């Protein structure tokens, strides 16, 4: 018989406000096996934990039930407490009387009654708990970073600096990400390339970092400390180790009409290309969709001009298999498509552009060499209208845009407006906004400067319609503060498009079994306390794949993710999860039902000798669970027709006992 202690937490008034904690402790005192029951204001505090430890020692408790917040919050805390008092940590059960009781019910009798039932279920379960000892698995001391933007680069650099090897997988031919496309950065107006490219070079030269550019993750297996990953290195038809990046092929290639994605299609590149001058690795890539040689077998100019002999038209995709201890998702973002926003005439006029296109137009390495010229006729624009929140905060029509605030648009629009006024004081700049949101260090001061020093016209209100007329864009908008309709003849309209997670994030999350929210941003293990970890152990989050962020926030999160990875890779062995499946050999008849449903291949069979009642022996095939591989989902326990397979910590008997306690 167990000797069980029950500890009911008030959580200040969070629980005690709607649950009579004294009554709960009293009601549970008479449950089978319970020898001690008490309540305290904050069980998770040092004093509360000491109370548990003392009770365990004083009353020789063999199991405890803590009626408190969600086990997702403090189960680990109370397991440590139990272990410190010499009790097996898996003899602890939590009754969730906060998130699933006191916080959702309003009146005391209902809350108290439910809390007692939840407590009874936990007591019924802990009565059947057995001490468990987790196994240990070795850690592969190598990390994988998926995505080579500023987030991925920073994470990789920090991990590499701590002495661990890191691989960056980037789907484009170069690392750098969105930041490489930016011109200046707010609120300091640092040149983006000047602060990013040294980091790219560092990453390229760091002996602990390998960069798989033009590559994608294809398959992820294993678990924390022991992931095995297949990476597809797409054929770039150029031998990476031989190409010197001289760029001669990119000048001589006769196929000149390829939209340049780095400049968002505003100019053209060749079929063989290096995305931009500071690309890392600085290696040419042949675009198979446009290369005449690859499509028709006739051309071969690049191979002729390449003095290094790096061109290889026969190159094939390569699959790289590698083992990793930790994986960091840093897949970044993209501006949303403007297809559904036809009121702004994006598809009708070349002079309606997105903010990212505007960045390229003002960038010295962009299609206009940094001169602000209209894409349609190359003339200097004299009136520019910026429209904020295009697709952001679109709660009235979620099918069209995003419900969330994209966070960075207010600040970059202020930057754009300021830069235009600085370079071209003859240009009138209007910014239409719902609200101007500037929370951040030196952000509001920056925005005030745009308004006060640079004379940008900020108008609260939304643009209703943009109509191209001749070489002008007629902008119809409302000024909410002055309560009047405005008509502006603009030369250029810039749309602050909402940002959304990169399309590659969703399939990646499926491979990693990491959860996502409804907007396809990765979910963090805890929104406040574990913001850089995914709920899936060993998977970490860096940058905008977790939510909209500006560069300083992205870099902080990237370093935080790196710190978490380093903490994991520093360990020689990881303590596993002891709540794994186990088979009762006497009941197992070796039918293979469990093996077929196991997603991890953790079940194997062996022939075992059994003594029969007539003293003879017999060989029988029985299932065997590899505890290091089993993740404890319990699928096999249901598939097993003889009931031989059970899950430790969530045994059939234990769950039945909970059902019984609830239904009593």
Partner 1 sequence: MQVNENFKPLIVAFCCNWCSYAGADLAGNNRLNYPAEVKIIRVPCSCRVNPMFILRAFQRGADGVIICGCHPGDCHYTSGNYFTRRRMSLLFSMLDYLGIERERTRVEWVSAAEGAKFAATMNEFVEQVTALGENKRLEDLRCKQ
Quote the crossing angle between the two packed helices 355-362 and 409-423, to the nearest 10°. 30
Min separation Cβ 8 and partner 1, Å: 17
Out of 16, 101, 203, 565, which residue is the one contacting partner 1 (CB under 8 A)?
101
Q: Which residue, 463 or 516, has its beta carbon nearer to partner 1?
A: 516
Min separation Cβ 304 and partner 1, Å: 48
Site string for partner 1, 512-531 (x = CB under 8 A): -x-xxxx----x--------
Interaction residues for partner 1, span 573-632 (CB under 8 A): 579, 597, 599, 631-632
Min separation Cβ 96 and partner 1, Å: 7
Out of 100, 268, 315, 438, which residue is the one contacting partner 1 (CB under 8 A)?
100
Min separation Cβ 514 and partner 1, Å: 9
Q: How buried is residue 136: exposed, middle or buried, by Cβ count under 10 Å (0-12/13-18/19+)? A: middle
Q: Which residue, 130 or 188, has its beta carbon nearer to partner 1?
A: 130
Task: Count how many Cα atoms sit within 13 Å of the Cα of residue 513 in the half-sphere of its side chain.
Answer: 13
Check binding of 634 to partner 1 (CB under 8 A): yes
Interaction residues for partner 1, span 530-549 (CB under 8 A): 535-536
Interaction residues for partner 1, span 336-395 (CB under 8 A): none
Cα–Cα distance between 108 and 446 in angstroms, integer? Answer: 51
Check binding of 111 to partner 1 (CB under 8 A): yes
Q: What single string gives the DSSP state of each residue in 481-533?
A: TTTEEEEEEESEEEEEE-EEE-TTHHHHHHHHT--B-TTSPBPPSBTTTBTTB
Residues touching partner 1: how many (CB under 8 A)? 52
Check binding of 652 to partner 1 (CB under 8 A): yes
Q: Which residue, 106 or 396, has its beta carbon nearer to partner 1?
A: 106
Out of 3, 35, 42, 103, which residue is the one contacting partner 1 (CB under 8 A)?
103
Check binding of 253 to partner 1 (CB under 8 A): no
Interaction residues for partner 1, span 484-513 (CB under 8 A): 509-510, 513
The SS3 call for residue 74 is helix
- The angle subtended at Cα 241 by Cα 240 and Cα 246, nearest 5°, is 70
Residue 471's alpha-carbon distances to 282, 379, 383, 453, in angstroms, are: 41, 10, 12, 30
Q: Which residue, 104 or 482, has its beta carbon nearer to partner 1?
A: 104
Check binding of 660 to partner 1 (CB under 8 A): yes
Contact segment (CB under 8 A) with partner 1 among 108-116, 177-185, 357-365, 433-441 equals 108-116
Contact segment (CB under 8 A) with partner 1 among 272-280, 379-387, 586-594, 647-655 equals 647-655
Q: Please state the φ and ψ torsions of residue 558, each to the nearest 5 degrees.
A: -60, -45
Check binding of 222 to partner 1 (CB under 8 A): no
Check binding of 659 to partner 1 (CB under 8 A): yes
313, two tokens: 């038209």
Q: Which residue, 263 or 546, has its beta carbon nearer to partner 1?
A: 546
Cα–Cα distance between 574 and 140 in angstroms, integer? Answer: 10
Cα–Cα distance between 427 and 417 in angstroms, integer? Answer: 10
Contact segment (CB under 8 A) with partner 1 among 207-215, 398-406, 420-428, 656-664 equals 656-664
DSSP letter, residue 613:
T
Q: Which residue, 111 or 187, has its beta carbon nearer to partner 1?
A: 111
Check binding of 113 to partner 1 (CB under 8 A): yes
Peptide bond preceding 281: is omega within 30 degrees of 0, i.e. cis?
yes
Check binding of 98 to partner 1 (CB under 8 A): yes
Q: Which residue, 451 or 597, has its beta carbon nearer to partner 1?
A: 597
Q: Which residue, 113 or 343, has its beta carbon nearer to partner 1?
A: 113
Out of 5, 63, 71, 149, which residue is the one contacting partner 1 (CB under 8 A)?
71
Min separation Cβ 573 and partner 1, Å: 23
Q: Which residue, 117 or 409, has its beta carbon nearer to partner 1?
A: 117
277, two tokens: 């001058």
Cα–Cα distance between 170 and 152 in angstroms, integer? Answer: 9
Q: Which residue has the tokens 């698995």?
A: 137
Cα–Cα distance between 495 and 364 in angstroms, integer? Answer: 21
- CB-based contact 292:203 (threshold 8 Å): no
Check binding of 225 to partner 1 (CB under 8 A): no
Q: How buried is residue 126: exposed, middle or buried, by Cβ count under 10 Å (0-12/13-18/19+)? A: buried
Residue 421's alpha-carbon distances to 287, 433, 455, in angstroms, are: 39, 18, 8
Cα–Cα distance between 277 and 190 in angstroms, integer? Answer: 19
Cα–Cα distance between 628 and 517 in angstroms, integer? Answer: 30
Cα–Cα distance between 586 and 284 in angstroms, integer? Answer: 64
Min separation Cβ 601 and partner 1, Å: 12
Contact segment (CB under 8 A) with partner 1 among 68-76, 189-197, 271-279, 366-374 equals 68-76
Interaction residues for partner 1, span 433-492 (CB under 8 A): none
Q: What single string gives the DSSP state of each residue in 253-296?
A: -S---EE-GGGTTSSEE-SEE-SSTT-SS---EE-TTT-HHHHH
Min separation Cβ 223 and partner 1, Å: 11
End-to-end CA distance of the chain: give it in Å, rounded.
21
Out of 13, 45, 60, 70, which residue is the one contacting partner 1 (CB under 8 A)?
70
Query: Could you count the other beta carbons within 10 Å of the beta carbon of residue 636?
Result: 25
Cα–Cα distance between 258 and 261 in angstroms, integer? Answer: 9
Query: Could you count the other beta carbons within 10 Å of the beta carbon of residue 399?
Result: 6
Q: Which residue, 132 or 639, has its beta carbon nearer to partner 1?
A: 639
Check binding of 105 to partner 1 (CB under 8 A): yes
Torsion 286-292-298-304 (CA) sign: negative
Q: Which residue, 615 or 664, has its beta carbon nearer to partner 1?
A: 664
Q: In the β-sheet with 215-223, what is the strand arrangement from edge to edge?
A: 215-223, 226-233, 318-324
Min separation Cβ 316 and partner 1, Å: 29
Check binding of 554 to partner 1 (CB under 8 A): no
Check binding of 655 to partner 1 (CB under 8 A): yes
Min separation Cβ 100 and partner 1, Å: 5
Check binding of 638 to partner 1 (CB under 8 A): yes
- CB-based contact 141:165 (threshold 8 Å): yes
- CB-based contact 308:243 (threshold 8 Å): yes
Contact segment (CB under 8 A) with partner 1 among 100-108, 160-168, 240-248, 412-420 equals 100-108
Cα–Cα distance between 521 and 329 in angstroms, integer? Answer: 11
Out of 257, 314, 611, 664, which residue is the one contacting partner 1 (CB under 8 A)?
664
The SS3 call for residue 431 is strand
Interaction residues for partner 1, span 284-343 (CB under 8 A): none
Q: Which residue, 84 or 633, has its beta carbon nearer to partner 1?
A: 633
Min separation Cβ 15 and partner 1, Å: 11
Cα–Cα distance between 238 and 309 in angstroms, integer? Answer: 9
Residue numbers of the site for partner 1 (CB under 8 A)? 70-73, 96, 98-101, 103-106, 110-111, 113-114, 117-118, 121, 509-510, 513, 515-518, 523, 535-536, 579, 597, 599, 631-635, 637-639, 647, 650, 652, 655-656, 658-660, 662-664
């Amino acid at each position: 018989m167990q000797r069980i202690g029950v500890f009911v937490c008030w959580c200040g008034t969070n629980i005690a406000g709607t649950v009579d904690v004294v009554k709960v402790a009293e009601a549970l005192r008479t449950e089978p096996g319970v020898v001690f029951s008490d309540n305290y204001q904050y069980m998770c505090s040092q004093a509360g934990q000491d109370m548990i430890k003392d009770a365990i020692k004083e009353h020789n408790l063999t199991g405890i039930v803590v009626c408190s917040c969600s086990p997702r919050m403090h189960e680990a805390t109370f397991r440590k407490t139990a272990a410190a008092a010499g009790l097996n940590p898996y003899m602890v059960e939590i009754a969730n009387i906060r998130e699933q009781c006191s916080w959702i019910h309003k009146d005391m009798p209902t809350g108290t009654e439910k809390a007692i039932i939840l407590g009874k279920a936990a007591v019924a379960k802990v009565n059947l708990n057995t001490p468990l000892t987790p196994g240990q698995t070795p850690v592969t001391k190598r990390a994988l970073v998926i995505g080579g933007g500023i987030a991925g680069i920073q994470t990789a650099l920090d991990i590499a600096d701590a002495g661990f090897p890191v691989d960056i997988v980037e789907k484009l031919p170069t690392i750098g990400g969105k930041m490489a496309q930016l011109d200046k950065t707010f609120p300091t107006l640092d040149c983006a390339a000047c602060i990013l490219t040294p980091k790219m070079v560092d990453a390229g030269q760091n002996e602990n970092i390998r960069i798989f550019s033009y590559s994608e993750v294809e398959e992820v297996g294993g678990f924390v400390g022991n992931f095995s990953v297949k990476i597809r290195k797409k054929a770039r038809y150029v031998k990476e180790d031989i190409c010197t990046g001289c760029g001669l092929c990119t000048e001589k290639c006769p196929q000149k009409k390829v939209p340049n994605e780095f400049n968002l299609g505003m100019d053209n590149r060749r079929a063989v290309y290096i995305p931009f001058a500071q690309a890392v690795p600085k290696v040419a890539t042949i675009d198979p969709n446009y290369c005449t040689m690859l499509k028709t077998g006739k051309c071969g100019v690049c191979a002729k001009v390449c003095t290094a002999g790096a061109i290889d038209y026969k190159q094939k995709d390569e699959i790289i298999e590698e083992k990793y201890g930790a994986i960091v998702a840093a897949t970044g973002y993209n501006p949303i498509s403007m297809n559904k926003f036809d009121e702004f005439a994006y598809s009708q006029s070349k002079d309606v552009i997105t903010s990212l296109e505007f960045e390229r137009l003002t960038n010295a390495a962009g299609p206009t060499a940094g001169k602000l010229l209209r894409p349609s006729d190359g003339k200097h624009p004299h009136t520019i209208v910026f429209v904020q929140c295009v697709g952001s905060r679109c709660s009235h029509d979620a099918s069209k845009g995003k419900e969330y605030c994209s966070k960075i648009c207010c600040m970059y629009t202020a930057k754009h407006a300021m830069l235009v006024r600085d370079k071209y004081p003859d240009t009138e700049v209007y910014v239409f906004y719902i609200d101007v949101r500037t929370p951040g260090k030196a952000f509001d001061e920056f925005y005030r400067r745009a308004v006060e020093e640079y004379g940008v016209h900020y108008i609260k209100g939304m643009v209703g319609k943009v109509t191209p007329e001749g070489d002008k864009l007629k902008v119809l908008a409302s000024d909410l503060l002055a309560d009047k309709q405005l008509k502006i003849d603009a030369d250029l309209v810039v749309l602050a498009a909402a940002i959304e997670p990169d399309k590659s994030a969703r399939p990646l999350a499926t491979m990693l079994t990491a959860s996502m929210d409804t907007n396809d941003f990765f979910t963090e293990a805890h929104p406040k306390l574990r913001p850089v970890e995914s709920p899936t152990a060993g998977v970490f989050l860096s940058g905008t794949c977790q939510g909209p962020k500006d560069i300083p926030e992205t870099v902080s999160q990237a370093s935080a993710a790196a710190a978490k990875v380093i903490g994991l890779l520093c360990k020689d062995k990881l303590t596993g999860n002891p709540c794994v499946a186990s088979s009762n050999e006497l009941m197992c008849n070796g039918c293979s039902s469990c093996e077929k449903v196991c997603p991890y291949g953790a079940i194997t069979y062996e022939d075992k000798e059994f003594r029969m009642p007539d003293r003879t022996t017999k060989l029988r095939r029985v299932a065997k669970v590899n505890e290091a591989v089993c993740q404890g989902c319990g699928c096999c326990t249901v598939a097993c027709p003889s009931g031989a397979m059970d899950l430790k910590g969530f045994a059939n008997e234990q769950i039945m006992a909970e059902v019984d306690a609830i239904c009593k």
